[in-house]
Structure 1
Amino acid sequence: MERKKFIKAIAWAAIAPALVLAACGGTDKKTADAAVKQTYTCPMHPQIVQDKPGTCPICAMDLVPFDKNNKDLSLTLGENQVALGNITTLTVGAGALHNFKQLNGRLAIDPEKTAVISSRVPGRIEKLYVKETGVAVSKGQPLYKIYSEQLASLQQEYLLAVAQATQFPGDARFQQIEKAARQKLVLYDQSDAQINRFVQAGKTDPYITYPSPVSGVVAELSAAEGQYVGEGGAIMRLEGYGQLWVEADVYPAEAAAIRPGQSVKVIVAGWEQEPQQMTVQFINPALQPGSQVMQLRGTVANPGNRWQPGMQANILLPAGTQGDVLSVPVDAVIRDGKGTHVWLETAKGKYAPRMVKTGVENFDAVEITSGLKNGDKVVVTGAYLLYSEYILKKGADPMANHKH
């Protein structure tokens, strides 16, 4: 009996280590399985993390998989990814940074490009060739045809004067009468071709078609077909948009630093990448009614009429220059709740975030006071794409655990 107990004890002693190793192996396997277990996050809200697919409780976007164990702050992209993302870099260096003060402004019609079309003779509008506003017309294009008895009388008077001058070519008095009668027709906007036409026909033509004296867009119609208009009565108004006023509000204290002839930059809303140069032409010396601001004005070219009066435009006044500073383009800087950072190319195809502090900023550049040094290669286009790619792959803000 004692012998059996002894053999049993020896057997347990032999198999115990194997059982312990098996148990440890099972624990390690469970630990490894837990380590490689897939996790999911929201591309817009990286704080949302769960261990199964689903939707974000904040924005309802589909969750995407990410590797929560990857602590590397850098991203590695292939050549195709860099090309598709339009990721470009710039080597930063010290230089001057121009600072600007922004004034709110707007585009307005240039009165010098506005023409009021009025009737040169009293009569009845027989036909309007342009019957609605917003229509573009060219110089010389027919605008309206008018029936005028007064014009017919002047034509008849001229025909008699021509007949007398022809019959008595040596009489200077008849020659003077003919010139005076012709001048009356010219004053009523009759061209030489129109005058010669009815002289050759030998009869008056009370129906006169008037062409447009300028090119422009019909902004207002003041008459209709069949309507009688007096001499000088308005028929329509044409506006030219090839050149526009830029008007900006400025406080009296700021106006002291502005002078006519000064060159400034103009940014039209929607065309921020195409700043226009403008010369300040006029500063209104009086305050605008009901306000405490003055108004400055200049003109900008409007090729192809791509801008319309009333659009917002900002005027950038030079407000000093910072010398020998590090600066990067505005698009290179990313701001979020964790701070401000840029992306650096640390090696070919490898990009890492770098927290920075900013200083003076204008419409296209930002001063970097700390975080960068001369020679750093900063991503200037595609920085937000790298920021989004980092959140998608790693499920966290690139600056979440960064201390500058």
Structure 2
Amino acid sequence: MKNIHKKAIGTGNKEHGNLFLSKDHLAFKQNYAWLLLLVFIAQSFLLTSAYARHDHDHGDGAHSHGEETAKTEEVKMQKSEAVSDKYEAVLKYEHLHANEPEKMTVYLADPVTNRAIAGASLTLSTSLDSKAKFGIIPKEPGIYEVTATFSRERTFSLTLAINGSNGSDMLLLKGINVGHTEAEHVHEESRWQEGLGDRQTWAVLGIGILIGLLVMFFAMKIRNRTLFMITLLGWSLFPLANYQPASAQHDHDHEHEGESADRPKGPLTDEFEVPKETQFLFEVLTQKADEGHFLPTTQLNGTVIPSSTGLAVVQPPQAGRIISLNVRVGQKVSKGQTLAVVEQTLDATALVSLQAERNTLEAELSVARKEYDRLKKIEDIAAKRDVSEAEARLQKAQDNLKVFNDIAPGGKGTHRRFPLVAPISGLVSPFTVAIGTMVGTGDTVFQLTNLSKVYVEAQVFEQDAESLTSATGYEVICQREAGQHRTRRVRLLSSAQSVNANQSQKALFEVENPEGDFKVGEFVTIRAQKKSNGTALAVPNAALSEVNGKPCVFVKESPEIYRIEYVATGHNNGDFTTILKGIHNGDKVVVASAYQVKMIFMNR
């Protein structure tokens, strides 16, 4: 029985037992060898995939979608810049092909003021292509459309001849690429590499297969195969745990791909780009910051009041009814002009007085006429002086009677008329009377205003009183929504005549106002100019902005590059502010549309 059992298990017969064990051992080796090889191939593939995904996400030699888009745009729109003392030019173009008409755009501006140069005559040429043709058409102020045809592919330098408002000049525009550019070749090569796969990917896969073959060889030589295989399988499957997180990370990155594309590709700097077309659209202007004589000023606040001959009221001496209006509101009248006629109703006493006055005037006229007629009859022997005097008395008597008859028509009746005349020249202010309105003695019927000369009453505190009297000149400024009005035709009439409740003194200025820019009752600013005490670096107040509570200016570095400079400011004279620190003499600062440039900087 034991022999039968030994034969069954192959131990009773040495020859058969060795044969059985040899076959079993060989099958064991073959099965585990193939298993090990498959495990290492799978491990190498998964490691390669995870590495490729990680490399794609983090950009070690690869490109994200946002970077590809940026490179595509960079290749799509190219530019060349050139600057001289008279002009600055920016040439922009897309991909250019040889032997085809292509469109380019030239932006022409003043290098100091950044003002667009309109109406200039431009000519393009190149010495590297004798068959090249260029046509230039002005589109908008400072913008010129170019139609160019090149006969071959290469990098050109174009000569731009300019004849414009700043004179004649020539600029050299370098690096005009016609045909495939180096960036496009790099982009195509990167896409080819992505299609075939990275060399590192194939290297990792090959190393994995090689390690699998070596482990398979050593496994066939080890006796305790079971323990070895369990340990080896556990170690081999350990990297597979990292595959799922890598894939999840990859999916997470693609979910936020749109967000990352909008984020800055690098750290924010003080420099930023403003395209030339945007500068022309917002009319961004610059000016050099120069160091020169700075006139400090003392600023006062005041109110416009009428001058001594700038306001007059018209009142009737007697009560009556208006029977005639000769002016309208806003009409300009002269001194002595009749504004209206008032008719007075007379009582019995006034009628007796009126009749006596009429009789007196008629008697004077009768005596004057008789005397004149007598002298005319003896004119040959009478003195000429007597004749002239008689004629003058007759004329005066006639005029007096005529005036009386105008007041009392026909010399009869119970009414008397008298005119209301303008005491000064000026404009008629709004009034509320009409024909038939009854007015009383002392009632204001008309008000006339003359703004050719006005006064400004200002408040002066004690610390500014001395600078007011020692000032070299004065300027009055009125700020309105429609614009700013200012004049230097100002004279100090008096100062410190009275003191207000807040202990400020009153100063009175006389302002010449022939155009009527300053109105009565307006609030104005008076600047008393001091003597210059040296030179200083100053910029116009319009150039100053504020970012995060700090004063700053924007400086132009190149045709399309600007930078922000935080500055320390000094004295402000109303037009300019001194700069103590931040910019240098000759820097071109933005003086117009600084707010728009600030918004472009903030929204980078």
TM-score (ref. length: structure 1): 0.73
Instruction: Go from structure 1 to structure 2 and tell me whether the alpha carbon gap of 1:256 and 1:391 turns closer, same or farther (over 3 Å shift).
Output: closer
Indicate yes or no: 2:322 matched with 1:126. yes
Equivalent pair of 2:271/2:563 in contact (CA under 8 Å): yes
Equivalent pair of 2:467/2:530 in contact (CA under 8 Å): no
Instruction: Go from structure 1 to structure 2 and tell me whether the alpha carbon gap of 1:338 and 1:250 turns closer, same or farther (over 3 Å shift).
Output: closer
Instruction: Go from structure 1 to structure 2 and tell me whether the alpha carbon gap of 1:75 and 1:228 turns closer, same or farther (over 3 Å shift).
Output: closer
| Paired position in structure 2 for 1:266 | 476
Q: Deviations over 1:30-56 (max 9, x none)?
A: 44699949xxxxxxxxxxxxx899xxx
Q: In structure 1, what is the Cα distance between the partners aligned to 2:426 and 2:461?
A: 37
Q: Deviations over 1:193-231 (max 9, x none)?
A: x749969x985794444453533232666999453645x
Q: Deviations over 1:314-333 (max 9, x none)?
A: 11112443422111111111
Instruction: Go from structure 1 to structure 2 and tell me whether the alpha carbon gap of 1:177 and 1:244 turns closer, same or farther (over 3 Å shift).
Output: same
Q: In structure 1, what is the Cα distance between the partners aligned to 2:572 and 2:489?
A: 21
Give the 5 Å matches for 1:1-400.
1-31=28-58, 36=66, 67-70=263-266, 71-119=268-316, 122=318, 124-127=320-323, 129=325, 135-139=330-334, 142-148=338-344, 154=357, 157-169=360-372, 195=403, 206-213=416-423, 214-218=425-429, 225-227=436-438, 229-230=440-441, 235-259=445-469, 263-270=473-480, 273-392=484-603, 394=604
User: C-alpha displacement at 1:78, in angstroms?
Assistant: 3.0
Q: In structure 2, what is the Cα distance between the partners aligned to 1:85 and 1:359?
A: 29
| Paired position in structure 1 for 2:109 | none
User: C-alpha displacement at 1:240, in angstroms?
Assistant: 2.1
Q: In structure 2, what is the Cα distance between the partners aligned to 1:331 and 1:24?
A: 56
User: C-alpha displacement at 1:308, in angstroms?
Assistant: 2.5
Instruction: Go from structure 1 to structure 2 and tell me whether the alpha carbon gap of 1:107 and 1:128 turns closer, same or farther (over 3 Å shift).
Output: farther
| Paired position in structure 2 for 1:399 | none
More helix by share: 2
Letter of the 1:356 counterpart? V
Equivalent pair of 2:494/2:509 in contact (CA under 8 Å): no
* Unaligned 5+ runs, structure 1: 38-50, 54-64, 395-404
Q: Does 105-114 or 232-241 show the bigger shift?
A: 232-241
Letter of the 1:90 counterpart? Q
Q: Secondary structure at the match of 2:538?
A: strand
User: C-alpha displacement at 1:105, in angstroms?
Assistant: 0.7
Q: In structure 1, what is the Cα distance between the partners aligned to 2:551 and 2:65?
A: 33
Q: Deviations over 1:122-148 (max 9, x none)?
A: 45223362899x644523765221224
Overall identity of the aligned pairs, in % = 17
Q: Deviations over 1:369-394 (max 9, x none)?
A: 122222211111122211101222x2
Q: In structure 2, what is the Cα distance between the partners aligned to 1:159 and 1:261?
A: 67
Q: In structure 2, what is the Cα distance between the partners aligned to 1:380 and 1:337?
A: 20
User: C-alpha displacement at 1:69, in angstroms?
Assistant: 3.0
Equivalent pair of 2:539/2:576 in contact (CA under 8 Å): yes
Q: In structure 1, what is the Cα distance between the partners aligned to 2:432 and 2:472?
A: 39
Q: In structure 2, what is the Cα distance between the partners aligned to 1:195 and 1:5?
A: 144
Q: Secondary structure at the match of 1:98?
A: coil
Q: Does 221-230 or 139-148 show the bigger shift?
A: 221-230
Q: Does 248-257 or 95-104 show the bigger shift?
A: 248-257
Q: Secondary structure at the match of 2:583?
A: coil
Q: Does 1-10 or 70-79 show the bigger shift?
A: 70-79
Q: Deviations over 1:290-337 (max 9, x none)?
A: 342221112324455444322111111124434221111111111232
Q: In structure 2, what is the Cα distance between the partners aligned to 1:391 and 1:261?
A: 43
Q: In structure 1, what is the Cα distance between the partners aligned to 2:311 and 2:469?
A: 27
> What's the C-alpha RMSD, in Å, of the aligned pairs?
4.1
Instruction: Go from structure 1 to structure 2 and tell me whether the alpha carbon gap of 1:66 and 1:88 turns closer, same or farther (over 3 Å shift).
Output: farther
Letter of the 1:347 counterpart? S
Instruction: Go from structure 1 to structure 2 and tell me whether the alpha carbon gap of 1:357 and 1:290 turns closer, same or farther (over 3 Å shift).
Output: closer
Equivalent pair of 1:326/1:368 in contact (CA under 8 Å): yes
Decide which structure has the larger Cα Rg and report it. 2
Equivalent pair of 1:345/1:379 in contact (CA under 8 Å): yes
Q: Secondary structure at the match of 1:111?
A: coil
Q: In structure 1, what is the Cα distance between the partners aligned to 2:291 and 2:575?
A: 16
Q: Secondary structure at the match of 2:270?
A: coil
Q: Secondary structure at the match of 1:166?
A: helix
| Paired position in structure 1 for 2:12 | none
Q: Secondary structure at the match of 2:501?
A: coil
Q: In structure 2, what is the Cα distance between the partners aligned to 1:136 and 1:176?
A: 38
Equivalent pair of 1:332/1:380 in contact (CA under 8 Å): yes
TM-score (ref. length: structure 2): 0.51
Letter of the 1:162 counterpart? L
* Unaligned 5+ runs, structure 2: 1-27, 68-255, 376-385
Equivalent pair of 2:291/2:538 in contact (CA under 8 Å): yes
Higher relative contact order (CA 8 A, sep 6+): 1
